[in-house]
Amino acid sequence: MPGNAKSRINDFVVKLANVNGTGSASANTLLMKAIFRMGIPVTGKNFFPSNIQGLPTWYEIRVSRKGYLARSGSVDIMVAMNQATYAQDLAEVSPGGTLIYDSTWPRESVIARPDIAVIGIPLARMCNERFAKTRVRILMKNMAYVGALAALIDIELKVIEKLVRETFASKQALIESNMDAIALGYDYAKKHFACPLPTRLKRLDKTAGHIMIDGNTAAALGCVYAGATVGAWYPITPSTSLMDAFRAFCEEFRKDPNTGERNFCVVQAEDELAAIGVVLGATWNGARAFTPTSGPGMSLMNEFLGFAYFAELPAVVFDVQRVGPSTGMPTRTQQGDILAAAHASHGDTRHVVLFPGDPRECFELSVAAFDLADRLQTPVLVLSDLDIGMNDWMCRELEWDPAYRPDRGKVLKPRTVARLPGRFNRYVDPDGDGIAPRTIPGGHPKGSYFVRGSGHNRFGEYTEDSDEYLEVVDRLRRKWTTAAKLVPDPVIRRTRKAGNWGIVSVGSCNPAVNEAIDRLAAKGIHLNYCRVRAFPFTRKVERFLDQHDYVFVVEQNRDAQLKSLLMLETSYPADRMHSILSYGGLPMDYRCVVEAIEEAYLAGVAA
């Protein structure tokens, strides 16, 4: 067997090339979870097509004893199960790596490279002989390669078996067939190859206190904990699983145990504009409501987002970003909606935007979003992305403070309204923070008012009078200043050795940036790092910028949208910001950050 026999323990990438619609996702997730349960830090990225069946799909599992969760950009073991992508998959394997393929059709002439080892396992043949039904054969082929990998990289079989038993707890027959398929691959690999490979796993204890969770599930859980009772939506990849999870949690936790009555409402509207309409109706009536969507849905919601901004209605919108413009690449990741979210809708609108950096923050910022929306009486947009939303991330366990009470903001109780000396005026700010107390409809007749998107004065009456209009929109600007004090601060990572260079980044860039900082430090380049978590930018963001002579802005879009926003909203000079952009649709790898900064550093040192 050719290749580099150097041992690589708990530090490598396994990539699985599959055909979409063959049930490979569950096998691949099982692999990743098994590694996690062996106490080894691991991350799994799913690159899937916008297609029901037939197009190529990949799953990339990175094992990192140091706990790095970004993509590494290289592949050590390729499981090539898609003959349509053999050439591409073969080319992608790092020198010294291994390629595993289904040798039911032996293809040594096609699948060969002198610098890697090629392992052929007749997976289809074994499954065809063992299982009778076509669909089962195709499904079990996936489990067979899980078995082969278990032998080749030393995944503990008892861990796999436990996972299989948990997954198919109610279906004994499925447990047996899955374990049979795993044994087929495992036994074949043990019999025909030197197992384990030099690149392999070894049990660690580095996952204690951590869970594997995807951002959409975590965000949905945040909605439940924040007390959201209404969700309205129109399905769109990659946000659909957020509503699926919310509904599943509610079915479990929000049903009256005695009557079986559902204490929640999920509305699938006819489109995204209707969905946010439902949300605004619900929040106006006092409920906590949200809608999950993605870029195209955000475009459709613009009209109502402007309405909610001007009429001052709370709402929470999750934009799980995908590749734009237009329909773009629906199943690929990007951070292309930053500017569109910040300035959604026409006229002078600016929206509060939160940027979770991992699923754990999806949970935390989801709760924060509902409080901010109520406190600021305005839509709050939570911008995650497909990478965070749909991939399983290893996160610290979610924490919850039982003392939490929702911040409903300035809401006048019917009793208070009744005791008001004069009439109730919807848009009068009593204390200068730009926020006017509101009432919930149906509380007290005195609290009623017109909600309008047209020009209104501080009493909520229609107006076209300049002064009256200015009073309202200038107060909204004051409210924006208040928002900047309430939204989450950035996460700042400082290094003692760092000079006056810094990195500013956002959202799912985080693992790549953190790994890049470590790798650059090993090369003597030390940088501080500020991860923005909200728009408007808080004082700490400005201060970080001011403390650094030169800042790299790392983000996943073509047009440097975060940098643009920093240019617009801070006084930091644009020519001292250098963009590092990754926008091809795949989750960011650390290499692009390391390379760009190293290059700039060398140029800087030379100058």
Partner 1 sequence: MSCDVLEVDFDARGAIASSGVVDETTIPCDDVVLAIGQENAFPWVERDIGIEFDNWNVPVVDPTTFESTRKGVFFGGDAAFGPKNIIWAVEHGHQAAISIHKYCQGANLSDRLPRGVNLTTAKMGIHEWSYSNDYDPAGRRIMPHVDLKKRFRKLNIEVELGFSAEDAATEVERCLNCDLQTVFSAGLCIECDACIDVCPVDCLTITPNGDQKTIEANLKTARLEPEQELYVSGPLKHTNRVMVKDENLCVHCGLCAERCPTGAWDMQKSTVVIPYAIDEAERDEQLCRETRKAG
From 505, 494, 488, 495, select the one nearest 577 (Cα to Cα): 505
Site for partner 1 (CB under 8 A): which residue of 102, 272, 361, 515? 102
Residue 326 makes contact with partner 1 by CB under 8 A: no
Q: Give CA 370 to chain center in angstroms.
A: 18
Which region, judged by CB under 8 A, interacts with partner 1, from 80-88, 186-194, 297-305, 364-372? 80-88
d(CA 108, CA 344): 55
Site for partner 1 (CB under 8 A): which residue of 141, 351, 438, 475? 141
- Please, what is the minimum distance in Å from the beta carbon of residue 125 to partner 1? 7
The strand ranges marked E within 301-458 are: 315-321, 352-354, 379-385, 392-396, 411-412, 438-439
d(CA 14, CA 3): 16
- Please, what is the minimum distance in Å from the beta carbon of residue 53 to partner 1? 6
Evaluate whether 263 touches 255 at the Cβ level (below 8 Å).
Answer: yes
Residue 81 makes contact with partner 1 by CB under 8 A: yes
d(CA 345, CA 299): 9
Site for partner 1 (CB under 8 A): which residue of 6, 53, 422, 432? 53
Which region, judged by CB under 8 A, interacts with partner 1, from 134-142, 297-305, 365-373, 571-579? 134-142
Evaluate whether 552 touches 525 at the Cβ level (below 8 Å).
Answer: no
Site for partner 1 (CB under 8 A): which residue of 26, 50, 74, 104? 104
Residue 88 makes contact with partner 1 by CB under 8 A: no
CA dist list (Å): 123 to 102, 103, 147, 189, 247: 5, 7, 10, 11, 38
Which region, judged by CB under 8 A, interacts with partner 1, from 127-135, 255-263, 562-570, 596-604? 127-135
Evaluate whether 118 touches 192 at the Cβ level (below 8 Å).
Answer: no
- Please, what is the minimum distance in Å from the beta carbon of residue 83 to partner 1? 6
591: Cβ contacts below 8 Å, ≥ 6 apart: 72, 73
Task: Name which of 126 and 451 has its Cβ closer to partner 1.
Answer: 126
Helix (H) or strand (E) holding 211: strand 210-214
Residue 450 makes contact with partner 1 by CB under 8 A: no
- Please, what is the minimum distance in Å from the beta carbon of residue 149 to partner 1? 18
Which region, judged by CB under 8 A, interacts with partner 1, from 128-136, 154-162, 255-263, 324-332? 128-136
Which region, judged by CB under 8 A, interacts with partner 1, from 19-27, 32-40, 392-400, 418-426? 19-27
Site for partner 1 (CB under 8 A): which residue of 66, 135, 477, 523? 135
Structure tokens at 359: 């699923």
Task: Name which of 88 and 547 has its Cβ closer to partner 1.
Answer: 88
Task: Name which of 21 and 73 has its Cβ closer to partner 1.
Answer: 21
Residue 22 makes contact with partner 1 by CB under 8 A: yes
d(CA 534, CA 137): 49
- Please, what is the minimum distance in Å from the beta carbon of residue 135 to partner 1? 7
Residue 340 makes contact with partner 1 by CB under 8 A: no
Tell the burial category of 549 from Cβ atoms under 10 Å away from its Cβ (0-12, 13-18, 19+): exposed
Evaluate whether 87 touches 101 at the Cβ level (below 8 Å).
Answer: no
Residue 425 makes contact with partner 1 by CB under 8 A: no
Residue 21 makes contact with partner 1 by CB under 8 A: yes
d(CA 279, CA 315): 7
Residue 128 makes contact with partner 1 by CB under 8 A: yes
Task: Name which of 51 and 454 has its Cβ closer to partner 1.
Answer: 51
Label residues 530-541 b or e (16+ Cβ within 10 Å = b).
bbbbbbbbbeeb
- The footprint of partner 1 (CB under 8 A) covers 19, 21-22, 53-54, 81-83, 102, 104-105, 124-125, 128-129, 133-135, 137-138, 141
